Amino acid sequence: MMRHAPERPLDIGWLRIFESVGRLGSLTRAAHELGLTQPAVTYQIKRVEEQLGVTLFHRSQGGSRLTDAGEILFEAVQASVANIDKAARDTRRSIQVPAVRIFTDFGFAAFWLMPRVTEFRLLHPDAEVHIVASQSLDDGLERDADAAMLFGAKEDFPETAQLLIPERVVPVCTPGFLERHGPFDSPASFADVPLLHLEASGKDRWLTWSSWLRAHGVALKPAQGDLGLNTYGFVIQAALAEQGVALGWRGLVDPHLAQGTLVAAGPEVSRPDRGYWLVHSPSVNSTTSTLLDWLIKKTWENTH
């Protein structure tokens, strides 16, 4: 592919020289603006005058003033140069790689999407990716995105949505916290330790401590020392700071489990019909399609 300087004006010869002299009223200033010598500018103006058989400028010590004939030509040339410059900018923008906008929530963006986008951009350094994150779907930000990665049940999304990560949740804490407060022999034993809650407005889309315990036949009881946080990143930071036990979504906390900074402290609960779904328009651009295909492939490789 040919490379170009995005801000460099298109070479249109005498038209640009004449427009610059007419606009600035000076051969010297025009030469400086165009990066030419004054004799070169003077030569081009004389050539145009010879071809037309008229004088285009009144030359004096104070500069170069357009003649009546020059004014007629200048009006046409200035409009033409402006139109050509606009067309050149539009042409250059049309061949630039379009940006990709992906909407998701904060936790998924930080723990799953960002590491994979970083890896993708090592392979495609020209790709421009914008990640738009929100903890709520009420602001409608996903409607302006090329693709969205949203948590919910299958019936919440169009038939074309693809499941990226099914919901699998396990209690996690640091090895030191587990050593001091564990072992947790049964789900009921979590009632005696501080729990870290992800707080969300509206209907619960994710498993909560209440629903996780209920899946094991245990009711959540009010406990002193529990901590509520409004983003999943804060929840995991609190767990790493040994403030309590968090619910760990597989796919998001896997790097911490692999590194041993967090450990599984209880049994897993899975809901195969729920998880993170990829939703996108069928008319996405080629860059978006390449990125989404790559993300799906990486997800498949990591789960098989």
* Domains (range + CATH), the chain: 14-94 (1.10.10.10), 100-303 (3.40.190.290)
Residue with tokens 């998880």: 275
Distance CA 177, CA 263 (A): 10
Residue with tokens 């629903």: 211
Band of residue 94 on the pLDDT scale cut at 50, 70, 90: low
Check whether 5 has a pLDDT greater than 50.
no
Distance CA 276, CA 56 (A): 69
Helix, strand, or coil (residue 201): coil
Selected residue with higher pLDDT from 62 and 301: 62
pLDDT value of position 75: 94
pLDDT value of position 143: 62
Instruction: From 79, 80, 123, 131, select the one nearest 105 (Cα to Cα).
Output: 131
Instruction: From 135, 128, 111, 154, select the one nearest 279 (Cα to Cα).
Output: 154
Q: Cis omega before residue 183 (within 30°)?
A: yes
Q: What's the average model confidence in pLDDT over 50-69? A: 92
Question: Would you say how long the chain is, in residues?
Answer: 304
Check whether 216 has a pLDDT greater than 70.
yes
- Interhelix angle 68-94/14-24, nearest 10 degrees: 120
Helix, strand, or coil (residue 266): coil
The count of C-alpha atoms lying within 13 angstroms of the C-alpha of 238, restricted to the half-sphere facing its C-beta, is 22
Band of residue 4 on the pLDDT scale cut at 50, 70, 90: very low
Write the pLDDT tens digit of every residue in 21-54. 999 999 999 999 999 999 999 999 999 999 999 9
Residue 22 host element (H or E): helix 14-24
pLDDT value of position 3: 42
Residues contacting residue 81 through CB under 8 Å, at least 6 positions apart: 12, 15, 16, 19
Write the pLDDT tens digit of every residue in 110-152. 999 999 999 988 888 888 888 888 866 655 555 667 888 999 8
Total Cβ atoms within 10 A of residue 303: 11
Residue 132 host element (H or E): strand 129-133
Check whether 255 has a pLDDT greater than 50.
yes
pLDDT value of position 290: 86
pLDDT value of position 2: 37
In sequence order, the β-bridge partners of residue 275 are 152, 166
